Chains A and B, each alone.
Chain A
Amino acid sequence: MNVSPWAYAPRPDTRISTVRLGVWLFLASEAMFFGSLFSAYVLLRTGAHAWPDATSLGAARALLIPTIMLLLATRSVRNQLGLTAVFGVLFLLAKLLAFARLLDHGQHPASNLLIACWFVMSGLHWLHVAGGVGATVWVMQSKRTVTAPHHAERLHGLWLYWCFIDVVWLAILVSFYFI
C-alpha cells in the first residue's frame, strides 16, 4: 500500500509523482552500477599491453537480432505489454545461445580480460533484462488490482526501465565492438 497522496499524480512543489521519483532514483543507482562496470572496463583496457580483437566474442552481426528484440520489447511497453515479455524472453534465449557458443569455442571468462569483461557486463545486463521481463509480467498481472492512474504510472516506470537497459546494451555493444 502506498500512503502518499502524490503517489500517482505530481506533487505540486516537486512536480513528480512518488512512483515516478522512485523509478528515477532506482535508475540513478543502476546508472552508477553500470558506470562502475564501464569505468573498470576502460581502466583495464587502456592499461593493457595488448587487447584481443572483439571478433573473438563472435561477429557483431550475430548480435543484430538480439538488439532488435530488445528495442522491440521497449517499443511494445506503451501498447502491447504481452509482446514486451515475449521479445524480452527471445532476447534472453538468443543471448544464452551466444554465451553457450562462446563457451563451446573454448572462450571462457578465464581466457582473457576481454572475454571476462564481456561475460560480466553483458551477463549482468542479461540479468537486468530478466528482471525487466519479471517486472513486465508483474505489471500485467496486477493491472486489475490497481487504479487506472496507478497502472499508468507503473507503465511509465516500466518504460523508463526498458529504455535504460536499451541504453546500457547499446553502450556495451559500441564499447566492445566499435571503439
Chain B
Amino acid sequence: MGDWKPAGMHLTDHKTVGLQYALTASGFLLLGFLLMLLMRWQLAWPTSPLPSAMAVAVGQDNAPSGFMLPEFYNQLVAMHGSVMIFLAVVPLLTGAFGNYLVPLQIGTRDMAFPRLNAVSYWIYLAAGLLMLCSFFVTGGAANSGWTSYPPLAVLATRGQDYWLVGIIMLGVSSMLNSLNVIATVLQLRAPGLTLMRLPFFVWSQLVAALLLLLAFPSLQAAAIFQLMDRLAGTSFFLPSGLVVSGVALQGPSGGGNPLLWQHLFWFLGHPEVYVLVLPAIGIVSEVIATNTRRPLWGYRAMVGSVLFIGIMSMVVWAHHMFLTGMGTTLGTFFQITTMIISVPSVVLITSLMLSLWGGSIRFTTPMLFALAFLPMFGLGGLSGLPLGLAASDVALHDTWYVVGHFHFLVAPGTLFAIFAGIYHWFPKVTGRTLYRGLGVVHFWGSFIAMTAIFLPMFTLGLRGVNRRLYDAGLEYTHAQGTLSIQGHMTWAAVALGLLQLPFLVNLLISARRGTLAGDNPWHATTLEWQTASPPQPGNFAVTPQVDRGPYDYSLPGHPRDYVAQGERE
C-alpha cells in the first residue's frame, strides 16, 4: 500500500486513528464471521464431526474427535455477539467512519481532543484482545450470551471475568471517543457551518455519540457489580435460595436481583441498537444524496427524527424484558414507547425513499448497497414490531424469529451501509477508486447470500424453534422439518464468505492500481470532497467558509449540477 499514507501523519491525527479503528474492527468482523461459520456448521450437521480443518482449529478439548461440545457452542454464541457488536460494527461506525469523516465534513483540522482520541483506540484494542484471550483460559471464553444474564453468568467459568473487564475498558474507550465527537461537532465547525447546515451523517454521529456517552456507564456499573459477584462473593444479582442443577447454592448471602442486571444491561443495550443504526442511516443519506443529484427530502424532519430517537431510545429498554413477567402497567408503558419510537425511524427511511423520487440516480457501487439497505433495513425494523408487543413477544422471544429480526437490521442493514460507506469514501482515503465490476459482484452476491441466510430464520422462529439450541432442535418433533433449512443457511453463509473475496481483492488491487480519483470523483457537495485525496495532515490548506446547506445539487442556473458547500458565490 505505502503511498497513500501521507508523510508526517501523526498517531493522534483523526485520520490515522480512524484507519486504525477501521483495520482493527475489520479484523474483529472477520473473526466474528469465522465464529459464526463454526456455529452454522454445527447447526447444519449436529450429528457429524466437523471437517478436519475446523476440528484442528477448534482443538481436541472443545471438539473431541471432531464432535463439538455444547459448552463450546455456547462460547461461540456469546463471543460472536460480543465481537460483532462491541468490537466490530460499533467501532467501524463510530471509531472508523466517525473519526475519519466528522472533522473533514465540518471543515476542521482534527478532533477536539486528539490525544484522548488516540487513547480511546488503544484502550479499545486492549479490551478486544483481552476478550479474545479468554478463549485460552480454563473453561474457555464467556459462554452466557452477549447479554451475560445472571445467575448463569455469575456462575460461569473464568472467561466471563475477561469479558466483564473488557466491557469496562470498552466503556472508557467509547466515552473518550463520544465525548470527542460531541465536542468536535459543537466547537470546531467551520465558519458559517451552522447546525442546520451539517451533513446528515454528522447529525447521526452526534446523536450516536450522545447515546454512547450517556448509556454505556450503566453497563459499566453493571459489569462492576457482576465482577464483584464473581470475585468478591457478593450477591447483587443472586437471589436467596438459588438452586443450581438440583443443588442449593452455598456461599452467597443472597437477596440480590437478577433482573437488576437486565435493566442495567438494556439501558445500554437498547441505545446501543441505535448506535448501530443511526450512523448507518447517516452513511446511506450521504450516498443517496450524492447519487440522486438532489437534496435529501425532508432534511429538517430527519434531523428532528434523529434527535427524537436519541431521547426515546433511553426509555424503551424493558421491551427486551417482556418475558420476565413484568406487571401490565410497566409492560404497557414500554409497549407504547416502543411503538412511538418506530415513528421517527419510519420517517427517516421514508425520507430516504422519497429522496429517490425524481432524482437522476447513478447506480454506482455505493449506491447499490445504499439502495439495498432501505428495504432490508425496513424488513428488519418492521419484523421488530411484533417483538415490541408483549403478547406476540412472549411467543417469539426465545425463537429464531428474534435472530432473524436483528440480523436483518445489522447485517444487510448496517453492514450494507458500511460497505456503501467504504465504496463511497475509499477514493477519499486512498486517492484511488474501487473497481466497479468486482463491486457489483460483491453487492449482488452479498445481497442474495444474506437474504438466503436470514430470511429462513423468520420461518424457523414462527415454527417455534428455539434459538441457542446447539443441535438446532434435533430432539424436538416440531423442529424436524426445519433441520434441512439449517443446512441451506450454512451453505449460504459459506457462499457469503467466498463472495467477500472479490471485495478483498478489490481493496488490495485498487489501493495500488485503481484509477486516480482526484479530489471529488463523485461530484459531491460536502466539505470532505474539497480537499486532497487523501487529505494532508491538517486536512484543509485554507479553512473552508460555508454559506449554504450540505446538499446543493441540481440548482437551477448553475453550470454544474452541484455547488460545493465551501464554494463562495
Residues of A within 8 A of B (CB): 1-4, 6, 11, 13-14, 16, 18, 21-22, 25-26, 28-30, 32-33, 35-37, 40, 43-44, 47-49, 108-113, 116, 119-120, 124
Contacts and interface: CB of A to CB of B under 8 A. Distances in A.
Contact of A40 (B115, B188, B221): B221
Contacts of B112: 2-4, 18, 22
Given A36-B267, A113-B256, A14 B186 contact: yes
B255 A33 contact: no
B225 interface: yes
Interface string B83-123: 00000000000000000000000001110111100000000
Interface stretch (B230-238, B377-385, B478-486): B230-238
A25 B220 contact: no
A47 B263 CA distance: 14
A156 to B, nearest CB: 16
B255 A112 contact: yes
A22 B177 CA distance: 11
Contacts of A110: 232-235, 251-253
A63 to B, nearest CB: 22
Q: Describe B's contact surface by its main secondary structure.
A: helix
Given A22-B179, A44-B255, A44-B260, A2 B113 contact: yes
Contact of A36 (B217, B251, B255): B217
B380 to A, nearest CB: 28
Contacts of A30: 217
A3 B108 contact: yes
Contacts of A109: 228, 232-234
A120 B225 CA distance: 8
Given A110-B252, A112-B253, A113-B256, A40 B225 contact: yes
A43 B260 contact: yes
Contact of B236 (A3, A22, A113): A113
A153 to B, nearest CB: 13
Contacts of B232: 108-110, 116, 119
Contacts of B236: 40, 44, 113, 116
B215 to A, nearest CB: 7
Contact of A18 (B183, B215, B217, B235): B183
Interface residues of B, number: 42
A113 to B, nearest CB: 5
B253 A3 contact: no
Contacts of A25: 179, 182-183, 213
Interface in B203-218: 213-218
A30 B221 CA distance: 11
A11 B194 CA distance: 13
Contacts of A49: 255
Nearest to A43: B260
Contacts of A47: 257
Contact of B179 (A26, A108, A111): A26
Contacts of A3: 108-110, 112, 114, 188
Contacts of B113: 2, 22
17 contacts: A2-B112, A3-B112, A28-B214, A32-B214, A33-B220, A36-B218, A36-B220, A37-B221, A40-B222, A44-B255, A47-B257, A108-B233, A112-B255, A113-B234, A113-B236, A116-B235, A119-B228
Q: Which of B188, B214, B217, B222 has the most CB of A within 10 A?
A: B217
Interchain residue pairs A-B with the least CB separation, the first 4: A110-B233, A33-B217, A36-B221, A116-B234
Nearest to A21: B183
Contacts of A32: 213-215, 217-218
B330 to A, nearest CB: 13
B187 A29 contact: no
Interface in B168-196: 175, 179, 182-183, 186-188, 194
Contacts of B179: 22, 25-26, 29
A111 B254 CA distance: 10
Interface of B: 108-110, 112-115, 175, 179, 182-183, 186-188, 194, 213-218, 220-222, 224-225, 228, 232-236, 251-253, 255-257, 260, 263-264, 267
A69 B175 CA distance: 30
A29 B218 contact: no
Contacts of A2: 112-114
A123 B415 CA distance: 41
Contacts of A18: 112, 183, 187-188
A14 B217 CA distance: 26
B232 to A, nearest CB: 5
Nearest to A33: B217
B175 A29 contact: yes
Contacts of B216: 29
A29 B256 contact: no
Contacts of A14: 186-187
Nearest to B112: A18
Nearest to B227: A120
Contacts of B215: 32
A158 to B, nearest CB: 16
Contacts of B187: 4, 6, 11, 14, 16, 18, 21
A72 B299 CA distance: 51
Contacts of A6: 187
A44 B255 CA distance: 8
Contacts of A116: 228, 232, 234-236
Given A109-B232, A110-B232, A40 B264 contact: yes
A1 B183 CA distance: 15
B50 to A, nearest CB: 42
A102 B224 CA distance: 21
A44 B267 contact: no
Nearest to A13: B194
A33 B257 contact: no
Contacts of A36: 217-218, 220-222, 264, 267
A122 B187 CA distance: 35
A106 B45 CA distance: 55
A36 B225 CA distance: 11
A111 B188 contact: no
Contacts of B114: 1-3
A146 to B, nearest CB: 14
